Amino acid sequence: MEALPFASWFKDADGKFNQANSHLLNSLNKDLSKVLGKGSKEVFDQEDARLSDEGEQDVYETGKISEATYSRDKHIYKSVNFPVFDSQGQIKGTGGYKEDVTNLTGSLQALHQERETLEVLLENMPFYIFFTDRKHQYLRINSLMAGLLRVSHPQEAIGRSNDEFFSKRVARKMLEEDHAIMETGTPIYNRVIFFEDKGVDGFWMEQNKIPIRDERGVITMIVGIFKDVSDKVKIENELKRARDRAEKSDQLKTSFLANMSHEIRTPMNGILGFANLLRDADLSVEQRDLFLQHIDRSSKQLLNIIDDIIDISKIESGQLKISNRPVHINETMDEIYSSFFHRIRGDAPGQQKVAFTLKKDVVSTVFTVVVDDFRLTQIFNNLIGNAIKFTHEGQINFGYNLKANRYIEFFVSDSGIGIEEEKLTLIFDRFGQVNPIKNYQPSGTGLGLPISKSLVNLMGGEMWVESEVGKGSTFCFTLPLVIEEVREEPRVLISNKSYDWTNQCILIAEDEDLNWLFIREMLRKTGAEIIRAKTGIEAVDLVHKKKPGVILMDIKMPEMNGIEATRKIREFNPDVPIIAQTAFVMAEEKEESLLAGSNHFVTKPLDRTIIMELIDCYIRK
């Protein structure tokens, strides 16, 4: 009894103590003499005495052990009373002990809590979790894993092995893995595999398998934690693709720039070279004419390239605006046809091999649709220009068909060299010039098709191509069909003649000396007084002072631009004709300048005939 680590005692049939160990005496702070022969009330305090008496009474009544757990002073005690029998089996007294179980209860509670936490973790982690024993049978799995094993409750998998759930191939693979782990003790960490089996939708799985050892260091279990990483793998693949695309686009950009520089240098060299040759005083008139033609052609080529670059950068920055208006579409198509007719059917020997036809689905000349005819013409110029470049014989056809009365489908088809299938999408790419055939590379910037496609998209349509190498290509694009009445615009007649503008004053607002010299030269023989303003402010000032009969107004000028100057002039002079002029075609600028009060708009390089006819028109009004 002395060895027991808690207070204990024996009592006789009268409920008097006849034995007590030192734990009890210490806790009571009493000698044995003060305890022996005494009842509970004389030994314990009131509360303990009551508990002890009740316990004893219970023992006498039931003949069995009586246990009670109670708390006091923040401690939890277990109080036990038990019967002591004589040789006849009668209760001759009782024994009892009182144990402080505060710590024990705490540990149990902690253990319980830990279990619950683990359970919550197992069930709520987005992983397939399982424990298997040395025989590869499941000891425990979470609900997600139960889903993978296709059992309705985790409990159903306990004691069963993989070959009951997976195909032979998969089960064998898992068994081999487990064997290796058991033998080597090496865990598997973050191994990503594509997991598929019959009845399971394939997914990317990250595997972790970790051996668990007992206290002797022997591996008794394996815990498996599998994770569905399909989303992650998808994102990684997308990133990789994006990186590949960026790299590819970077390469294309480099070769685009190299090509562009070549494209610009060629006409530049032509212009510089022939301009130099012109210096030779001994040239015949024919030679001079020929050199000027070369310079003219190279300049136009250069302007085209610059137009393309401006267009593509406007498209990229979202600044390109579409100006739709009602258009006699058949007239536009006829104009396109005639502008190419000579080039295709042309007089040059060897070019007559290509037939050129136009198909109009509607016959009426006044059939009117709402489109941006300037952009539409630009698209056809690109497509037909390409068709000419890549077709040596056969035919080039273009035109349009109405589709379900909802949209117009335009087309340009040729019997040219065709485009290889893998390049069909690349050619619409910004830097996607493809060399069609070895030793055959007509010049080009590779911008025509991307611009055309973007224009079509901006106008609400689609562009695509069908092509077969050696047979030819057909480029198609759609535009929404909007039919409307056409408004006639007055047309300016262009003729070739000399002009007499004596007593007239013409104001040239132009900051660049070269342009000023060119215009002055153009007007020199007309007899008009020509005055110049270098800024918008000067222009307004000169209109006040000299009251010119016509103004040729450059848009881009320092201090005050042409649009602003036009606005200012209109405040005090609503009548003077103002012809606005700017470099390249900026549709927005055109609109803006007309809104500001210009009567007409021309683009540089100025066409002498048009300018002269316009000025004449206004002077004679």
CA 141 to chain centre: 40
Confirm or reject binding of residue 436 to ligand ADP (CB under 6 A).
yes
Q: Which is nearer to ligand ADP, 131 or 477 (CB)?
A: 477
CB atoms within 10 A of CB 313: 11
Nearest residue (beta carbon) to ligand ADP: 444
3-state secondary structure of 147: helix
Minimum CB distance to ligand ADP, residue 348 (Å)? 20
CA distances from 126 to 185, 300, 616 (A): 26, 66, 83
Q: Which is nearer to ligand ADP, 416 or 549 (CB)?
A: 416
Confirm or reject binding of residue 222 to ligand ADP (CB under 6 A).
no
H or E, element range at 553: strand 550-554
Binding mask 467-496 toward ligand ADP (x if CB under 6 A, else -) reads ------x-----------------------
Residues 6+ apart with CB under 8 A from 122: 129, 140, 142
- Position among 211, 224, 448, 536 found at the interface with ligand ADP (CB under 6 A): 448
**Angle of helix 329-345 relative to helix 373-390, nearest 10 degrees?**
20
Alpha-carbon distance 270 to 105, whole Å?
A: 100
Which residues in 402-431 contact ligand ADP (CB under 6 A)? 414, 416-419, 427
Alpha-carbon distance 228 to 126, whole Å?
A: 8
Minimum CB distance to ligand ADP, residue 336 (Å)? 16
Q: Which is nearer to ligand ADP, 387 or 530 (CB)?
A: 387
Q: Which is nearer to ligand ADP, 445 or 561 (CB)?
A: 445
Please give the backbone phi and psi of residue 606, each rounded to the nearest 5 degrees, phi first: -70, 140
Alpha helices in 63-101 (DSSP H): none
- Position among 94, 207, 386, 582 found at the interface with ligand ADP (CB under 6 A): 386
Alpha-carbon distance 454 to 475, whole Å?
A: 14
Q: Which is nearer to ligand ADP, 463 or 550 (CB)?
A: 463
Q: Which is nearer to ligand ADP, 158 or 434 (CB)?
A: 434
Which residues in 132-161 contact ligand ADP (CB under 6 A)? none
Contact by Cβ (8 Å): 436, 425 = no
User: What residue type is assigned to position 593 of the chain?
Assistant: S
Confirm or reject binding of residue 596 to ligand ADP (CB under 6 A).
no
Confirm or reject binding of residue 354 to ligand ADP (CB under 6 A).
no
Minimum CB distance to ligand ADP, residue 400 (Å)? 18
Confirm or reject binding of residue 267 to ligand ADP (CB under 6 A).
no
Which residues in 182-211 contact ligand ADP (CB under 6 A)? none
Minimum CB distance to ligand ADP, residue 453 (Å)? 9
Q: Which is nearer to ligand ADP, 234 or 359 (CB)?
A: 359
Strand 505-509 and strand 407-414: the pairing is unpaired
Confirm or reject binding of residue 434 to ligand ADP (CB under 6 A).
yes
Confirm or reject binding of residue 301 to ligand ADP (CB under 6 A).
no
CA distances from 274 to 159, 517, 573, 606 (A): 94, 21, 46, 21
Q: Which is nearer to ligand ADP, 93 or 448 (CB)?
A: 448
Minimum CB distance to ligand ADP, residue 254 (Å)? 17
Reading the block at residue 270, the tokens are 């032509």
| Start-to-end C-alpha separation, the chain | 137
Contact by Cβ (8 Å): 599, 573 = no
Binding positions for ligand ADP, rule: CB under 6 A: 382, 386-387, 390, 414, 416-419, 427, 433-434, 436, 444-449, 473
